[in-house]
Amino acid sequence: MKKDSYWAQANRKTLAKSLSELCYEQALSAEQESEESYIVRLKSGVNYQFNGIPTIWDWLLIDGETIQRCQGAEKLIANDVAQFFIDAAEDLKIAASTLGGLLHELANTLVADVALLEKREAFSAEDLAQFTDEQLQCFLDGHPKAMINKGRIGWGAQEFRTYATEAGEGVRFLWLAVRQEMTVNGHSERWNWQQLLKESLSADQIQLMEDACQEKKVNWQEFIPLPVHPWQWQHHISQHYAQQLSRGDIVLLGQFGDHYLPQVSLRTFSNVPRPQSLHVKLPLTVLNTSCYRGIPGKYMQCGPSLSQWMQEICVKDCELSGRGTGILQEVAGLHVPHLHHEQVKGTPYRYREMLGATWRQSPASHCLEGERHLLMAALLQKDSSGRSVIAALIRSSGLSVEKWLEYLFDATVVPLYHLLCRYGVGLVAHSQNLTLVLKGDRVARVLLKDFQGDLRLSQGEFPERSDIPQAAMDVLDQLPPNYIIHDLFTGHFVTVLRYLSSQLMLELDFPESKFYGVLASVLRDYQKNITENSPKMAERFQVFDIFRPHIERVCINRVRLSHGWGDSAERPVPIVGGDLENPLWLSEQKPEKKESKLNTVSSTEI
């Protein structure tokens, strides 16, 4: 396949996704012309016509190969997603400066997508399904809900080739010594800073670092070791922290240690030669998928104790321990506040998140013999013929689709719902926050991670969480139950299951009504079993009513279009559109009530 056809393919794929998500978020409207034909009419006078299949989510699956750009009597195959955004700018209420930022991020995303299309060409879905988790993350498309998900503004072509996830290249960190009083830090009682060094450096490398410390008069009684990404050092730290460097409060020791592979999240790294070693999460001040990829300092002191508390819950709670639910614990965190930006109220958040690190347990360290781990995002990945990893796993497992899904839902959705109802803990469980542990190509259990900003608490009386660390209570958001339930509805159902159910409908002819019927059955069984032993949980199920008829439509792409690409003091917050019919509620209705009302509908690519 020639390079230009990859470019056209990447454009069609992104155009289909963009049309789909913008209609779903009600920024555009798709009118049905015939059984499978739809049209989006724009104020610019340009229309986009395509074939699509309606889904249970008031959302269209668009066939990217059928999209045509219609202007007057002229109809052309649509291979230019940038032109679409120009055509739709008035409808989307995009200011010229915002459109410029969007096109910048779009160009970067398309280049990255072309690299992925080329890279995956030689592999079938069955091949991808058998890759190790670390290998497979270098082949993944990224968040399906975000129209433009590989923008990485701040990087050029060289950085894409060297540091991007799809490049599949390992990176060695630079190491700094930071004077202790300059940091905000915390670590588990089971770990200290010297032990953390051993997770990244061999004995020989540690000796080389010690030699550098002696030469530069660094002693570990006064300093703390901190890894930094080479790009972050060159483009931000060496300039922004020049004052601390000149004073000797921060000392550059050099480049040491193992090679680390960037995961699909871009800023989390796995150890290449020693997969069981701790993962390292580092700030990268690039704008990617709606925000800068920094690390907020406010979670550093509570992260280890919060994740330890979560792990203790998973051990002592029979619903969680019986399902093998585990936590990828954040064992240490370190943040170096900027001397000047920290004093400026309202300074752009990216300046407050430039230097720090989080150390987190690796999934490999949790796997037993005969088990392997896989990021849940991998289930959504398709090969060049449109066949998915989830379907490949179902086929190779020897299980029926229903049985395979029962294992999946019992291992993932039930623990998330249980944490919500028993403890008032909401996790934004998108597909990159959940690691599946597989046994025989079926899901055996789940490992949860990423509590920095993706864990929130429900307001109300929850005596079961009375022992949560005070440091966590001081920084975690506490919101009403009807907000927190969206960490499950929107963070998981809409962001993950919406795409899985539609893919199985297309590829395995498995109806979405059956998909959500299986989920409803698993959740009802859980509710029935737990209320027999804990009758008070029935009240919690009413508070967190997962079977209510309607749920709010939370929109992330519209927020980016309205906020633009300028700096802000806080990260963007999603907005709410019109209500959706809840697929769980629909699955329990009589057949005549299950029919979706999709006159003007919404829309990912077939």
Q: Give per-residue pLDDT as tens, 6-53.
A: 999 999 999 999 999 999 999 999 999 998 899 999 999 999 999 999
Length of the chain: 606
Element housing 180 (H / E) = none
* 3-139 and 371-534: identical CATH topology: no
The set of residues, in sequence order, having a beta carbon less than 8 Å from that of 561 and lying 6+ positions away, is 27, 92, 93, 94, 98, 102
pLDDT number for residue 560: 79
DSSP state of 153: B
Q: Please report, for residues 382, 583, 587, the alpha-carbon distance to residue 594 in angstroms, rounded to integers and kept in the order given.
A: 29, 9, 7
DSSP state of 138: G
pLDDT number for residue 1: 45
pLDDT number for residue 603: 46
pLDDT number for residue 578: 86
- The pTM assigned to this predicted structure is 0.94
Alpha helices in 216-363 (DSSP H): 230-232, 238-240, 242-247, 303-316, 318-321
Would you tell me how many other CB atoms lie within 10 Å of the CB of residue 560?
24
Residue 223, CA atoms < 13 Å, CB-side half-sphere: 20
Asked if CATH classification 1.10.510.40 holds for the domain at 371-534, the reply, yes or no, is yes
Encode pLDDT of 133-174 as tens digits.
Answer: 999 999 999 899 999 999 999 999 999 999 999 999 999 999
Pull the structure tokens for residue 598.
């999709």
Q: Tokens 């699955």 label which residue?
A: 587
CB 142 within 8 A of CB 289: yes
pLDDT number for residue 441: 96
Encode pLDDT of 169-194 as tens digits.
Answer: 999 999 999 999 999 999 998 899 99
- Which CATH number describes the domain made up of 3-139? 3.30.310.280
Q: Are strands 279-281 and 356-360 parallel, antiparallel or unpaired?
A: antiparallel
pLDDT number for residue 601: 44
pLDDT number for residue 291: 82
pLDDT above 70 as % of the chain: 95
Which residue type is seen at 576?
V
The domain spans of the chain are: 3-139, 172-258+295-361, 371-534
Ranges under pLDDT 50 in the chain? 1, 594-606
Q: Please report, for residues 429, 456, 515, 547, the alpha-carbon distance to residue 541 in angstroms, rounded to integers and kept in the order given.
A: 19, 18, 22, 9
CB 483 within 8 A of CB 459: no
Q: Which backbone phi and psi does 225 adopt, to 5 degrees?
A: -75, 140
